[in-house]
């Protein structure tokens, strides 16, 4: 696996953006995040454009359909599945066009897909139970996802000419670990998945993704208490989470962050609000809490340029177009502030 392909001080986005125009979204991402752009996700387009539908579009020899309760395994690809595939193909065309207009390939390009546990928690088997309740189906979906990613990454590399970094989105992982997901009947909850079992499947998928790309793999979890030790143990070389949720974090949580930094893990820190807070947001208030954290943990501030990638706090699908641009600009400027901190900060 290669060292981090993105340059020091690079910033990126989590993935989702407002709007329905993939050409415009790709142009904005390549313009605002030239050193580490990502594949724009536009869930406002509806079925098949959300995280689960987009990921299902990549599956090989497996298909899903939309039912009143959400996504369900289908016997064969139908309208819903074909629509998700078409949306993904339009997105590929859009990022290729943006790359060509940019004039040069970026140092790295990031894509986002649902992680194995979030996918298994949000897609039902034909009888209505979640995939994660069937270990055989769980393995089949994980293997199918890796097969699909191999083709997807190859297609992207041929169109963009840049190293591809895979980010697995795992917003449902804390619920999987805690046993908080409701059963099909709604009268109970799915049994908690033991941490070693969750780690093993994640490790299998992360190592498979590393073999596909030859690059570090990121895992994003936007929960208030992301399972950072578990993600590190599973092999994630980059961990993305909402830094703004750390206010009042316990010493144990802060120690987990310090251990991750000390181990060489990249932290993709969500620093910028995802929606317009209604008051001006300046760069200094975005980055100062990070400077204070590394000071408190006893690290030299240079570690921020080496091991931190600024991002918005989470996806920007709910933002206005103006705030979306501002959030990406602030993320980019935060990365530069980490490489050359203004005097007095």
Q: For residues 3 and 150, what is the distance between their CA atoms, to the nearest angstrom? A: 20
Reported as type and span, the H/E element at residue 327 is helix 321-339
Q: How far is CA 304 from CA 49, 109, 230, 252, 265, in A?
A: 34, 21, 22, 21, 12
Indicate the CATH number for domain 22-244.
3.20.20.210
Q: Supply 242's token pair.
A: 């909402």
Where do the H-state alpha helices sit in 243-313?
A: 251-263, 283-297, 303-307
Phi-psi region of 298 (alpha: psi -120 to 50; beta: other; left: phi over 0): left
Token representation of residue 218: 């990121």
- Do 37 and 12 form a contact (C-beta atoms < 8 A)? yes
**pLDDT tens-digit profile of 239-259?**
999 999 988 788 899 999 999
Question: What is the pLDDT at residue 1?
Answer: 66
pLDDT of residue 185: 79
What's residue 33's pLDDT? 98
Question: Any idea which residue has 């790309």 for tokens?
Answer: 213
- Cβ 336 vs Cβ 9: under 8 Å: yes
* 195, 177 contact by CB (below 8 A): yes
Please state, in angstroms and rounded to a whole number, the distance separating the CA atoms of residues 333 and 56. Answer: 34
pLDDT in tens, 176-223: 999 999 988 788 999 999 999 999 999 999 999 999 999 999 999 999
Give me the residues of the chain with pLDDT under 70, please: 1-2
What's the Cα-to-Cα distance from 303 to each of 33, 75, 210, 236, 328, rounded to whole Å?
Answer: 21, 50, 24, 19, 22
d(CA 243, CA 73): 35
How confident is the model at residue 280, as a pLDDT? Answer: 93
Q: Which two tokens stand for residue 42?
A: 């536009």
Give me the pLDDT at residue 278, please: 94
The structure tokens listed for 101 are 């207009």
Show me where the domains of the chain are located.
22-244
pLDDT of res. 187: 84
| Pairwise CA distance, residues 273 & 254, whole Å | 21
Query: Which CA distances in Å does 86 have to 92, 93, 95, 96?
Result: 10, 11, 15, 16
What's the CA gap between 40 and 325, in Å, rounded?
A: 13
pLDDT at 345: 84
């Amino acid at each position: 696996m290669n060292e981090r392909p993105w340059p020091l001080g690079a910033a990126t986005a989590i993935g989702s953006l407002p709007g329905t125009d993939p050409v415009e979204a790709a142009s904005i991402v390549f313009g605002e995040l030239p050193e580490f752009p990502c594949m724009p996700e536009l869930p406002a387009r509806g079925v098949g454009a959300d995280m689960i539908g987009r990921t299902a579009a990549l599956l090989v020899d497996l298909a899903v359909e939309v039912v009143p309760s959400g996504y369900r395994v289908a016997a064969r690809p139908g309208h819903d599945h074909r629509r998700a595939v078409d949306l993904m193909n339009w997105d590929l065309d859009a990022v290729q066009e943006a790359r060509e207009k940019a004039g040069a390939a970026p140092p790295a390009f990031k894509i986002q897909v649902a992680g194995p546990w979030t996918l298994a928690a949000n897609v039902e088997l034909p009888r209505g139970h979640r995939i994660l309740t069937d270990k055989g189906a769980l393995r089949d979906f994980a293997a199918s996802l890796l097969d699909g990613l191999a083709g997807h990454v190859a297609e992207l590399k041929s169109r963009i000419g840049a190293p591809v970094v895979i980010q697995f989105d795992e917003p449902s992982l804390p619920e999987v670990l805690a046993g908080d997901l409701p059963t099909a009947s709604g009268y109970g909850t799915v049994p908690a998945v033991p941490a070693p079992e969750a780690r093993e499947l994640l490790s299998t998928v992360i190592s498979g993704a590393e073999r596909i790309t030859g690059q570090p793999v990121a895992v994003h979890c936007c929960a208030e208490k992301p399972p950072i030790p578990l993600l590190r143990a599973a092999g994630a070389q980059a961990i993305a989470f909402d830094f703004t949720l750390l206010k009042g974090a316990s010493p144990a949580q802060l120690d987990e962050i310090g251990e991750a930094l000390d181990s060489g893990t990249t932290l993709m820190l969500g620093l910028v609000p995802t929606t317009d807070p209604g008051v001006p947001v300046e760069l200094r208030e975005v980055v100062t809490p990070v400077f204070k954290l590394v000071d408190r943990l006893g690290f030299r501030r240079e570690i921020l340029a080496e091991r931190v990638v600024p991002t918005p706090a989470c996806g920007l699908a709910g933002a206005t177009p103006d705030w979306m641009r501002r959030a990406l600009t602030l993320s980019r400027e935060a990365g530069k502030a980490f490489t050359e901190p203004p005097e007095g900060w």
